[in-house]
Chains A and B, each alone.
Chain A
Amino acid sequence: MTPDGGLSSTGSLLAVAVGCAAASLWLLLPRGEGGLRERASRRFGMLLGAVALALFVATGRRLGGVGEEAVFLIVALVAVIGGAATVVTRSPVYSAIWFALALAGVAGVLLVLGAQFLGVATIVVYAGAILVMFLFVLMLAQPTGMASYDRVSNEPLLSAVAGAVLLGLLTLFIGRLSAGPGECCAVPSRAAALAGGTPPTPIAPEPPADSAGRDPLADNHVARLGGELFGRHLLAVEAAGVLLLVALIGSIASVSRTPPDEGPDAAAWRAGA
């Protein structure tokens, strides 16, 4: 997007992209049609989704170098395509696997954005732990064949439209962020405020490097993040530890309640009381 000119054409392109995304999601979501009709609508939905993604890429901002841009494009596409496939895939097992791919893309986006520790932590925590837990539950719970509730959706049209409206509003406001200062939504930069000590009146293309060592792009990334975490946020870390412990105890206590075999309790259990 050019910063000053062509805002209206970019806006119309974005509107078309959001509309294509809504139609694509509606076509791709399971609607219980079955047969050739379902296959045809899925193919058309994939085509529309590709058009929407291409429009989003076309309206995205150009980054500095070709290499940087290509890397960001690849990881962002992996994240978004994986996320869309997570949502629209019928089989929950494939859904979980697509989610793992989306996580890999998200980790790549975090790495490109300069969050090295978080990129790796996302892979370790999500793909290594949570996703495996999901797969375990699926293996325990997966009935043979595809269940009926995997083949129909609640209000697919309304859901797709709701998601598209949210996406359109968010991209609209993100686009207005780049319109420059003086707009209602221009956000003051903390780095500029710290460096200058005054409200950020001058327009700089990049936030200047912080002299106080609080810039996440500086050296010793993990050490600085640890210092921040265990310095300013020590109480929150303690609270998070307590939260983890409570969740552990709570899940163990809940899962060890086995249903009674016989007697009046069993009838009440089966009735859902």
Chain B
Amino acid sequence: MPMGRGRKPLGRLRAAALTAVAALALAGCADSSAVQGGGIPSVIHLLGVRDQTGPVSYTGISAANGTALAIEEITDQHFLGAKVTIDVDERDAAFNPQTASSEITTGLAAGNITAVLGPQVSNESLAVAPIAQGSGVPIVFTQSGVDGLLTGNMTFRASSSQASIWPNATKHIIDSGAKRVAIVNTASNATYKELGNKTLPALLGKSGVKVAESFDLESTVSDFQAPVSRVIAAKPDAVITTLIGPQIPTLVVQLRQAGYDGPIYTGNSMTDAQLRTMGDAGIGLMFPSTFSYAMTDQVPAAFTAAYKAKFGTLPDVFAAETYDQTWWVARAIKQAGSANPADVAAALPQVGKKGFTGAQGALTFENGNDAKAKGVLVRWDGSKQTIAR
């Protein structure tokens, strides 16, 4: 009897509960229609995971700016439709692979993410790639030149690897008549280490340029008088360095103080703030890059003008790369006619195979998923960047 008496209220409760669950499910479907169904929804959700704090936060802050500018243009141009807006959930990887993994996991839990704008630091990218791949959401990296990153069908890269932009610099070295070079190499970054130990000697060796002296140095080395002493003794025609951060200004100035007056080439992550710290010693320093605000081609120049108008400062390579990254995703959404992650992942290589012109100039995509730009060789004249080649 008690059971019988309780049946009716329990039934009503059950019905109410089912109704509530159904309503919630419908509400969920409505919110995630972008992900589940066809057509481009009115709001597209992207997830950004970059370093907003930590030792390379300047890269993540610029990256977020590049994306913000691209989204503003995409929206203003009604590129994906008159009423379509893009919402980016920017999360801080804090220069820590574990944090990056945690943030991407939390961000993807929302269930409505169309694509992830991935980290720039290789070890963070390696940590988050399997999470995006496992979630079936495409992730587009910038920088992150490490090998083995683009192994799944959900992984993409919107910036050229160092190996693909350095030929521009090595040709400049060869054309200058150099026969012997010294390489001061970082031992703390796998990508740059390989560049200095394998890629550059191979590129130069083809034209008979000999590596007279080569060093691997840890990121904890702060004073370079010892390697500089050996570089000077080797009498190179050019010095190349793949060091990173504040090590570059120290090396450049100590080379000049030691009497070296030949050309110096460095990695592509040089900002004006870093270049200025070198004073007169930095004049003439050259570095290959996929972007410089000195580029005069139509799209890069328009990007520079728009960026300066929006943020009041000149853009750097990190902003240019994420500007192209965001536009690549937008083109893929338009190509797919959908914000469903699987559709976008399928469309990204299709857009990649056609290529497009972005802030980095004309972009082609190896295998449809790995951007290649010709790049430029930038020369610092003491106050601003100029194009050397």
| Same complex | no
- Residues of B at under 8 Å CB distance from A? none
Which residues from chain A sit less than 8 Å from chain B, CB to CB?
Answer: none
